[in-house]
Structure 1
Amino acid sequence: MLTRILPPAGPARLLAFVTMVMSLGQGLWMAISAIYAVTQVHLTPGQLGLSVGASAAVVLLLSIPLGAMADRTGPRTVQLWSFLALAPLTAALLLVHGFWAYLSVSVVQAIAYRSGNNARKAMIAAVVPKADRVMTMAAIRAGINVSMAIGACLSGLVIAWGSPAGYHGAVLFAAVCFLATGALTALEAPVPPVPASAGSAFAVLRDVPFLTFTALDGLLTMHTLLLEVVLPLWVLKHTGAPGWMSAVILLVNTCFVVAFQTKVAGGTGDLRSAGRASRQGALSVAAACVVFALSGGTGWPIAVLLLVAGALLHAWGEIRQAAGSWTIAFDLAPDHAQGQYQGTYKMGADIGKTFAPAVFAWLVLEHGAGGWFVLGAAFALLGCAMPFVVALGVRQRAAAPAPAPAN
């Protein structure tokens, strides 16, 4: 199975494999982290929310500097030390008791993870030929879904067991995965650091087309929250489908991504086609919103059919939009500043996640089908704007002077 998911032999295959190892630990930790904090560290839900919010805020503020650090230090070096540091930080949670200790460790843990994540994107830009980046990202995304699914299944066993020993073992397993990620990074191709003379560490803040793309794409990728946050409650409260349909929808999404991500990613190797792909993906997600809306108030056979149809539309739109976004994020960024640009790109989704769950839930759960239609229209508008933003970025790149040569 791994040979079908991973790219052909070479730097891209090792990058994909290392990412899968990391995702296995991350998938397990994400699935149990909230329960672990409440049941083992004995935080209140409010304290947990404060910890998550503080970590997100710090990471948001540091995302560009961390990306610039990958440029200046070398992305392989940053990725290696970030995940080597993440391993003991994760294991340290076994010794944490109380809110302030948990907050301190989780914030530093989040910084290390984002640092490694930014560096990994810069690594892909550096060692994978431009023509192969999208297919490499598609293979990596398919592999991440497999690893995350395995991690989620392991978390289910841990939660079902309910023993402190199980939770402690899961934390150690995640830490070992991060340690292995750091160790395997040492086998990847070295990437020399970019000298400071190549450009400002915060040049991205003056790149209006890229910042606009980051904002639009950050809002557009919030469609993933529909399956995780909104649809489970919609199924329970507004349809006649059984409650377990929300789990079926997530399974459909995961299987579809694993099976078709590399196939659907084709034809997005240049900026113009990538802009069209983002628009196509957004329109497909918008259509999924309409289908989900139609499932409201229906009996279980029709509701199940509509929910599955909507899930398939959403999955196709998700992977098509993602493929377009990868090309845009890589190709609008100058080669000497991939770290800071990829760090900025991640900020779009970070900002969206601060308000999207509440807004989506309010629209759909309070306003029913009308809320779905509003969301569908919003996704369609965002997608249709993407080709114009990309065209603006292409014109700016063509007019920009070349970076100063290194001394």
Structure 2
Amino acid sequence: MISRGGAVRAGLRAWWARVSPEPGPQRALVASSFVNRLGTGMFVAVSALYFTLIVGIPARQVGTGLTIAGTAGLLGSVPAGMLADRVGPRMVQLVTLGVQTGTMAAFVFVHSWWMFTTVTALDKVADAANNAARGALIGRVGGERPALFRAKLRSFVSVAVVLGTPVAGIAIQIGTRAAYVTLILANAASYVVCALLLLRVPEYPPIPRPAGSRRFAALADRPYAAFAGLNGLLSLQAVVVALVIPLWITTRTQVPRTMAAVVFGMFFVVGVLLMQPVGRRTETVAQGGRALRTSGLAVAAGCAVLAVSAEGPRWAQAAVLLFGAAIICAASVWALAAGFSLSFGLSPAHAQGEYQGLNLLGLDAAAAVGPALLTALVLGFGGPGWFVLGAGFAAAGLLGPPVTRWAQRTRPDTADAGAVADAAPSLSARAARPSAAGSSAP
């Protein structure tokens, strides 16, 4: 008879085998990304306070600088993705990590608005380029199931961000320049560790471009651009959770402000719990289109709930708020899973970086203009604003299946999310053999 402890251990081993990445390049890339996002989680949580309270830049100027830097970042994704397709994604990612190490360390010496804006713009361009190359590398490392591997990766980096946030809270509590600087330099060091771990991932050679294929194909691919736009719009669910709901709590409800932190934490917890189960059911193009629809309609339902969260006693407001926020948090998982499956499934194998860059361009463009529009809509119109916002998400979601069917009809050789990988593994495997030492499990 198996003891209860033995059954628990067996269950844990089975669970870990299901959720963990495969040994070799996959685990190396997950470890690299985990360290990177751990540092990012620490920095993002303190950056606004550092530049306003420690450096002394007015909050409005910080916002302006971030807007300028975010706009500059839009220029980095597609060119970097194209470069990753030509010279290999790992090389581009290593270079961008080196640039980000320098920009992060340079924040310690920032003392004026123009210097803050310049360094932040360089950092945003490097970050966009890094993400495009990383997307192409995920496509190669993920093998025949890149979307599922990306879902696993997302689960682990979400945990990293959550772990980094309390460390940032300690620095905020101390409140000295030395505490903030220590955190910033720790993030700079995380880029170095990230690059060292990335060296354990093979340098996959570029996949030759088929005869007759055109350069800059992604920019001329209207169906894929339409998907990238929809993906960007639906990604604004994260802005609803991180920005709109906290502002709604403080201006329109009687709920304690600490509820904003609860909602933010719930966003990551729900992501960790649901990302892989949903990802396993959202790997083909058709499944991705349906997941976009599910996500948009779910957000609409969540917005309808939030629209009435300012009514009634405080306990009722809190309960309704948490219910509506939970729906949106869950909906964001379907949006992410759809984005993963479609960004890989609709991309030709030889141009993964270029297409991932275009997808990131849609995400970054939405992130640049979305916060101002969403907050103006909800805070300006109150409950009706939530209904209008929900209708917008529902419309975007309903466009998911027809847009993906349109895109699928125009693919010359891809029928589902696994088709992209079918062209790559043979080349990828040959590339990995000379680098066996580099592909060992960490």
Partner of 1:166: 179
Displacement after TM superposition at 1:200 (Å)? 4.3
Give the counterpart of 1:245 among 259, 262, 273: 259
Structure 1 residue corresponding to 2:151, chosen from 138, 151, 157: 138
1:320 counterpart = 2:334 = yes
Q: Give 1:240 shift.
A: 2.9
1:44 equivalent to 2:44? Answer no
- 8 Å contact 2:71–2:368 — kept in the other structure? no
Q: Which residue in 2 is equivalent to 1:380?
A: 394
Q: Deviations over 1:362-399 (max 9, x none)?
A: 22112111111111111111001011010001110138
For residue 228 of structure 2, what is the amino acid of its counterpart?
T
- What is the Cα deviation at residue 95 of structure 1? 2.3
CA distance in 1, matches of 2:82, 2:377: 38
Structure 2: which amino acid aligns with 1:65? P
Q: 1:15 maps to which residue?
A: 29
Alignment partner, residue 197 of structure 2: 184
> Shift in Å at residue 203 of structure 1?
1.3
Please state how far the C-alpha of 1:77 moved relative to its aligned partner: 0.6
Q: Structure 2: how far apart are the matches of 1:127 and 1:399?
A: 21
What is the aligned partner in structure 2 of residue 111 from structure 1?
A: 125
Report how far residue 215 of structure 1 moved. 0.8
Q: Does 1:28 align with 2:4?
A: no
- The CA deviation at 1:195 is 5.0
Distance (Å, rounded) in 1 between the aligned partners of 2:108 and 2:36: 20
Find the counterpart in structure 2 of residue 220 from structure 1.
234
User: Relative to structure 1, is the Cα distance of residues 200 and 86 closer, same or farther in structure 2, using a 3 angstrom cutoff?
Assistant: farther
Counterpart position of 1:100: 114
* CA distance in 2 between partners of 1:359 and 1:298 (Å): 28
Aligned AA (1:144): V
**2:287 pairs with one of 273, 292, 312:** 273
109-118 or 187-196, larger mean C-alpha shift: 187-196
CA contact (8 A) 1:6 1:17 kept: no
Deviations 1:118-158 (A, max 9, x none): 1111001112123x222211111111211111222111111
Matched letter for residue 178 of structure 1:
Y
Give the number of aligned pairs. 401
Quick one: structure 1 residues 56 and 266, their matched pair in 2 at CA, closer, same or farther if it must change by over 3 Å? same
TM-score by length of 2: 0.86
CA contact (8 A) 1:293 1:368 kept: yes
CA–CA distance in structure 1, aligned partners of residues 16 and 125 of structure 2: 32
How much has 1:11 moved relative to structure 2?
2.2
Partner AA of 2:315 in structure 1: P
Write the distance in 1 (CA, Å) between the matches of 2:64 and 2:257. Answer: 30
The answer (yes or no) to whether the contact 1:24–1:148 under 8 Å persists in 2 is yes
- Deviations 1:151-172, CA, capped at 9 Å, x for gaps: 2211111111111110110011
- Looking at structure 2, the residues matched to 351 and 298 of structure 1 have their Cα atoms a distance apart, in angstroms, of 38
C-alpha contact 1:79 1:119 (8 A) present in aligned 2? yes
- Sequence identity percentage: 32
State the alpha-carbon separation in 2 of the partners of residues 45 and 235 from structure 1: 21
SS state of the match for residue 351, structure 2?
helix
Q: Which residue of 2 aligns with 1:299?
A: 313
Partners of 1:161 and 1:267 in 2: CA distance: 45
Mapped partners of 1:60, 1:88: distance in 2? 20
Query: How big is each residue's C-alpha offset from its partner over 1:261-281, in whole Å with a ceiling of 9 and x where there is no partner?
Result: 111222212111111111112
Contact 2:142–2:150, Cα closer than 8 Å, also in 1: no
Q: Is 1:290 equivalent to 2:304 in the alignment? A: yes
Please give the alpha-carbon distance, in whole angstroms, between the structure 1 residues aligned to 2:350 and 2:32.
24
Q: For 1:160-195, what per-residue CA distance to the aligned partner results, in whole angstroms no more than 9, with x for missing partners?
A: 111111011001100011111111111102111345
SS of 1:142's partner is helix
Q: Give the RMSD, CA atoms, in angstroms.
A: 2.1
**Structure 1 residues 326 and 253 mapped into 2: Cα distance closer, same or farther (>3 Å)?**
same
Unpaired runs of 5+ residues, structure 2, are: 1-11, 415-422, 424-442
CA distance in 1, matches of 2:400, 2:158: 26
Q: Verify the 8 A CA contact 1:239 1:299 in the aligned structure 2.
A: no
Secondary structure of the 1:189 match is: coil
Question: CA separation of 1:196/1:332 partners in 2, compared to 1, >3 Å: closer, same or farther?
Answer: closer
Conservation of the 8 A alpha-carbon contact between 2:306 and 2:386? yes
State the AA in 2 paired with 1:243.
R
Could you tell me how far 1:196 is from its partner in structure 2?
Answer: 6.7
Amino acid at match of 2:124: A
Name the structure 1 match of 2:164.
151
Pair 1:352–1:394, CA change in 2 (3 A): same
Give the drift of 1:34: 1.8
Instruction: Map Cα deviations across residues 15-74 of structure 1 (whole Å, 9 max, x no partner).
Output: 222111110111111111222222333322243223212211111123211111111121
Q: CA deviation at 1:13?
A: 2.0
Q: Which runs of 4 or more aligned residues in structure 1 lie more than 4 Å from their structure 2 counterparts after TM superposition?
A: 1-5, 194-201
C-alpha separation in 2, matches of 1:87 and 1:148: 18
Tell me whether 38-47 or 78-87 shows the greater mean CA deviation. Answer: 38-47
Instruction: Give the Cα separation in 2 of the matches to 1:292 and 1:210.
Output: 33
CA distance in 2, matches of 1:332, 1:197: 16
Q: Is the 8 A contact 2:231 2:335 kept in 1?
A: no
Distance 1:270 1:94 in 2: 45
From 193, 218, 225, the equivalent of 1:204 is 218
C-alpha distance in 1 between matches for 2:105 and 2:207? 33
